[in-house]
Amino acid sequence: MSGQKGAAGTPESRVPPVWGKVPPRNRNFTGREELLAALREGITGRVTAVVPQPHALHGLGGVGKTLTAVEYIYRYRHTYDVVWWIPADQQTMVKAALADLAPHLGLSPATVTGVEDAAKNVLDALRRGTPYDKWLLVFDNADQPEDLFDILPQDPGHVLITSRNHRWASLVDAVPVDVFHRDESVEFLTKRVRGAISAEDADRLAEPLGDLPLALEQAGALLFERGMTVSEYLEQLGDRTSQLLSQGRPVEYPVPMTAAWSVSVASLSESLPEAVDLLRVCAFFGSEPIPREVLSEAPPGLRPEMAGLLGDTIRLGRAFGELGRYALARLDIPGRTIQVHRLVQKLVQDELSPEERKRNQHEVHLLLADYDLGEPDDESNWPKYGGLVGHLVPSTVSDCRVPEVRAFAIRMLRYLSSSANYTAALSVAEDLIDKWSAESGPEHPDVIRVKLEHTNTLRELGRYEEVTELNAEVFGTAEKTLGPTDDITLWALRGSAADLRALGDFREALRRDEEAMRRFEEKYGPDHVGTLRAVNNLAIDHGLMSNYRKARDLHNRAYSGWRQQGPAIVKASMLNALNGLARAVRLSGEYSEACDLGEDAYANAQDAIGPEHNWTLRIGKDLSVALRRYGDFERAEELAAQVQERCVRLYGLKSPDTLAAAVCLSNLWRTAGRVEEATELAADSAARYTEIFPETHPYAAACLTNLAVLRRVQGDPVAARKLNERALAGLDAQLGRDHDYALTTALNLASDLAALGELEAACGLGQDTLRRLRALFGDEYPLTLSGAANLSADLMAIGRTEEATELREGTMAAYRRTLTLNHPDAVVFMEGRHLDADFDPPPI
């Protein structure tokens, strides 16, 4: 291993195809040859940590861990196809940084799938080595090992960790980093001061600085920028060191580093005091890069001197430049950011009085709140929001009571939830709720709003039992303190209907959504986006109550309303409404029209929001069901398999979307004769539904009838009958017999009885079911025709020939008028076989 830097045009100068957020190389990097060689050798063990020497007391850094990692990257970048830098000092940022890698691996970005799923997809692709198996992930400043262990992809690429925590050394291969050897210090200073310092003077300077790289960097910068002699610098350094030792500094602050920093700040105060003011403000952001735009405008409440600096472009630019030249901050010119080392931040904070700390901290709050981020629901604004995530917690925004600052915190929370960074959203929401409740009381509007966002996040995670109780509290508090027409009250009311659907109480959900729609219309009128969402939810309720005509009308109203929104249109919401319309048309028995609408929705969704957006997958699943009902089994199965695979990969096995996709695929496999596979999938899905929803939920019961059909097809009508009787009892209790789900199950139970030879009982149940189907849906509805077809066969089997013939002829005429005699259902009927009815769970 040569350790030589590649010249331009050599293989060593090759930049990987995927190169993300790697800090610039330090042109003055010196020495560390043995360390880099050990790192290169050790990293073949897949996961390697760069940590301080156990005996070193540089707990806050300064020994060069990050710079060593950066140098390793540049020396060996030609051996990788992917190099990705991940700030790891805050857990909330890790998954967001991973998610940013998704599009570079040919995966859907976080704007489509959300942060959690995008990060999961990235880790899966890296572990599989597709499309790249030569990759390097760098987790910089990782603190607690347990925060990262679940997301470290160990094969086939490499993982490099920098950390101040020595515990990493007992868990993975570790390369300890200490201060420079003296010859390295001398070489570094000679480079940094560019030949204006002798080896002897460099040695004299390195001794009191303890060979600490960060202290040497600041000393070298000051000597170069100010033309100060080594003797002058050592005199000032000695004075500062004596002062520090007399003060008894805590050991976590290295005395050489603190002294060097003090000399640099004192010198900068003489030449450009406003740069020191800027440094003090930057010290209260996070340690990640700060967007320069945040520091370009002066909001009300800033000190006059700081407001004056931010308002003077020339002076501000000079202040940024001086901080960079004095090595007190790192400037990224193309990225327009400034970054202050965490050790420097701590030193700056420590020198201030409590009042000064509070003032600077508050100014950071005001600057963040004044930064124009746009709406957090608009995915085009997510990169700007993402640039501030690393500053949300360190800046202690949650401690501020200023309304504008709290509004900023809520916008950041909405961004985290909208981008599906649910883990971070929950953490931030819980922190805000605790602090704001203590400061302002649990009934303050800000607290209620955060609690609402908290419940929305829990709902997305499928934690329905928790959500129901929490949202009820939010709704009750909002209605009492803010009034029945406040937006928060209306949103909570709409959310409570969703919770009721998740619990299986479809009737009460419908009542709640009727009330929500009435209130939205009274406040905003019929065309407001809030009203349209309420209309769409009410359509879902009517569909769940088997009123498909009403659902169709309401979905059509919502879709038409979204189309008229112009620039304010939210594509996902419009496509959701269109898919709801296609589903209602299919459930009304118009399969051809449902396929046309579904194809349109699916094509538009793939183009507008991406093939792996959750709404695109729901649209694809519903389209597959429509194609199956229409009789296009081949296309339906292809689409169902694709959707199910993506749902498993994106959401895991316990997601409601994954289960709905699995049910759809199982029904198709049964139709295609793949009975064993269909049974395994149906049994697994039925079991998992009871893990997500209550056992009494209609979906849990209705899924049993799918499994029952398969048991009968496998030749076990006894097991099928037991499953259908159990399902029907549950559905009767929850929804009543005159509901689509109950009648579907009753129709299948009648087939079980016929298969067992209990033909009189089968006819009795079949006649009752047919009567109810005709009353609910009419004579020519597809499920009604299935009931008539099955009953005609059973009547013929027990010798009631005249009744059977009359019913058979009427059914044949109805098939001819509706689905045609070429439809698969009609073919089964004409052959005298029983038709099986199945269930596909719609979204709630």
**Distance from C-alpha of 288 to C-alpha of 89, rounded to nearest angstrom:** 9
**Distance from C-alpha of 367 to C-alpha of 374, rounded to nearest angstrom:** 15
Co-location of 240 and 346 in the same domain:
yes
Co-location of 346 and 245 in the same domain:
yes
Instruction: Give 174-196 pLDDT, tens digit per residue.
Output: 778 888 889 988 988 988 887 78
- Amino acid of residue 234: L
Residue where one domain finishes, among candidates 126, 157, 177: 177
Helix (H, G, I), strand (E, B) or coil at 160: strand
Which of 627, 668, 674 lies closest to 644, judged by CA?
A: 668
Instruction: Give 449-480 pLDDT, tens digit per residue.
Output: 999 999 988 887 778 878 888 999 999 999 99
For range 316-338, the mean pLDDT: 88
Co-location of 207 and 316 in the same domain:
yes
What was the pLDDT predicted at 2? 33
CB 424 within 8 A of CB 114: no
**What whole-number percentage of the chain has pLDDT above 70?**
95
Q: How confident is the model at residue 526 (pLDDT cuts 50, 70, 90)?
A: very high
SS (H, E, C) 638-650: HHHHHHHHHHHHH
User: In total, how many domains does the chain have?
Assistant: 3
For range 394-413, the mean pLDDT: 95
Q: How confident is the model at residue 246 (pLDDT cuts 50, 70, 90)?
A: low
**Strand locations in 158-209 (E):** 158-162, 173-177
Least confident of 77-81, 251-255, 534-538, 763-767: 251-255
Co-location of 223 and 152 in the same domain:
no
Instruction: Give 753-762 pLDDT, tens digit per residue.
Output: 999 999 999 9
**Distance from C-alpha of 288 to C-alpha of 805, rounded to nearest angstrom:** 80
**Distance from C-alpha of 31 to C-alpha of 211, rounded to nearest angstrom:** 13
What was the pLDDT predicted at 220? 87
275 assigned to some structural domain? yes
What was the pLDDT predicted at 262? 87
808 assigned to some structural domain? yes
Co-location of 155 and 196 in the same domain:
no
**Phi/psi of residue 491, nearest 5 degrees:** -65, -40
Q: How confident is the model at residue 251 (pLDDT cuts 50, 70, 90)?
A: very low
Co-location of 83 and 221 in the same domain:
no
Least confident of 103-107, 275-279, 798-802: 103-107
Rg (CA), the chain: 33
Instruction: Give 666-702 pLDDT, tens digit per residue.
Output: 999 999 999 999 999 999 999 988 888 888 899 999 9
CATH of residue 786's domain is 1.25.40.10
Instruction: Give 560-610 pLDDT, tens digit per residue.
Output: 999 888 765 677 788 899 999 999 999 999 999 999 999 999 998 888 777
Which element (helix H / strand E) includes 87?
strand 82-87
What was the pLDDT predicted at 840? 95
Instruction: Give 700-713 pLDDT, tens digit per residue.
Output: 999 999 999 999 99
Q: Is the pLDDT of residue 248 over 70?
A: no
**What whole-number percentage of the chain has pLDDT above 90?**
57
For range 52-64, the mean pLDDT: 53
250 assigned to some structural domain? yes
What was the pLDDT predicted at 249? 54
CATH of residue 28's domain is 3.40.50.300
Q: How confident is the model at residue 771 (pLDDT cuts 50, 70, 90)?
A: very high
**Distance from C-alpha of 507 to C-alpha of 511, rounded to nearest angstrom:** 6
**Distance from C-alpha of 121 to C-alpha of 98, rounded to nearest angstrom:** 9
598 assigned to some structural domain? no
Q: Does the pTM exceed 0.85? A: no
Co-location of 322 and 261 in the same domain:
yes
Q: Is the pLDDT of residue 745 over 50?
A: yes
Q: Give the range of the structural domain holding residue 770, as residue numbers without chain letter.
A: 698-830
Residue where one domain finishes, among candidates 133, 148, 177: 177
CB 175 within 8 A of CB 39: yes
Give the mean pLDDT of the chain. Answer: 88
For range 498-515, the mean pLDDT: 94
